[in-house]
Each structure stands twice: as C-alpha cells, then as structure tokens.
Amino acid sequence: MGYHDRHVVVTGGTGALGTAMVGALIEAGAICHVPYINPAEADHFALRGHARVKLVADIELTNEDAVARLYAGVPKLWASIHIAGGFAMAPIGETTKSDLMKQVDMNFVTAFLCCRAAVNAMRPTGAGGRIVNVATRPALEWRAGADMVAYTASKAAVVALTVALAEEVVQADILVNAIAPSTMDTPANRKAMPKADFSAWTKVEDVAATILFLASPENRVTRGAVVPVYGRS
C-alpha cells in the first residue's frame, strides 16, 4: 500500500490493537516509531526486535515536551496513528472531577498533542501525510455511553478534533480521519466479559486493516471521516 520506507508513529503500539497495527505496517514496508512509558510494555512487545520497529522510551503523551521529543526523532513523518487511550465505566454520581480529567487526558489530550506535533512535522516536508485517531462507538451513538459518560465525552471530543482538523490541514494534503470501534476481541475484554459472545466482537487485525488504508498514500480523498468498525457486535 505504498508504505515502503515511510515513517509512521503509532501511539499505544504495544497494546492489542497497537500490536496488530504495527504488524500490518511493517508487513506493508513501513518504519514504525512506538512510544511507551512503562518498561514492561516494551519487554512484552512481540515486535520489539524487528529492524523496522523503533521503540521510544519515557514518552508521557500528556506532556507537551515529551510529545515534541517523540516527533523530533522521526525523519520525514508520513503518518501518525493515535491508539493510546483509556477506558473507565462508572455512573456520573460516582465519577469525580479527577476521574473525568483522567479520561480527558488519556483520550483527548494525547490525541490533540500528537495531532499538533504530527501536523508541525508534516507541513515542512511538503509531502502531505495522514493522521488517524481512535474514537469509539458511543462517541457516535451517545445513548450507548450511559454509565460511562466521562469516557464517552472524552472520545466525542476526539471526533470533533478529527473533523475540525481535517478541514484545517487539507490544503497541505494532510488527511485526518478516525475510526470508531465497537467491542474488540482483546485479552482484556475477554477477561472483563467472560460470558460474552466473543465471535461477534471485531478482530483487532480487521480494525488495523481499516486504519492501514486510511493512513496510506492510496487514501487520496477520505478526510474528516469517523469510520464505524463495528463488525457484528
């Protein structure tokens, strides 16, 4: 898909979806820059030894200086894929301001800072680029966000960021999109919901395939989209 020797940042790259994403990218020929904050993340990352995977230590994605350092180390950035985030489920009466701000930081602030750094890295190259954020199904279907309103609101902010930024940077040939997954088939979700029908859940490899197209040079026209990746769930 035209990724040969193109540099791509993947936040959250050591997680379940992130690992599938990095695997798809390196198979397509990309060079992946994967930040992490917890050494255990890197230690257990299956692709850590690959020649085209560059792990970047001590990157706190809510810290402007750390994000700037991450992107400064990427030569001629082509794409930035923002999978990093967090989930919390609680009714509003049990959600403190601290809980809310944690969701905003983990989901919205990380995406915002990485989008800003990516745009600032892409513009000078004159070659354009691609940005893909990760929202969630409740960010599009708000009623589904009951009992997890802090998470839903933070991801809805990611949707607004995506659409507004797509309009702002299109003249630089930077196309910005997002995906909105439903429940994905990950070890963490299986552990949390052991009685669910796993066969209906979206496979992370299929979600990664959608992102792979949106972030590729072959995507020449899609921007400002929030693509549902629900599968049968």
pLDDT of residue 22: 98
pLDDT of residue 196: 83
Q: Which two tokens stand for residue 57?
A: 């230590």
CB 88 within 8 A of CB 153: no
Q: Which two tokens stand for residue 22?
A: 């990095």
The neighbouring-strand residues paired with 7 are: 31, 77
Alpha carbon distance 185, 126 (integer Å): 38
Strand residue runs (E) in 69-183: 77-82, 129-134, 174-181
Alpha carbon distance 186, 223 (integer Å): 28
Domains in the chain (CATH in brackets) are 7-229 (3.40.50.720)
pLDDT of residue 199: 83
CB 172 within 8 A of CB 130: no
CB 150 within 8 A of CB 194: no
pLDDT of residue 41: 87
The neighbouring-strand residues paired with 152 are: none
DSSP assigned state of 34 = E
pLDDT of residue 28: 97
Rg (CA), the chain: 17
Mean pLDDT per 10-residue section of the chain, whose length is 233 residues? 94 96 98 96 93 97 98 97 95 97 98 98 96 97 96 98 98 98 85 83 94 98 97 80
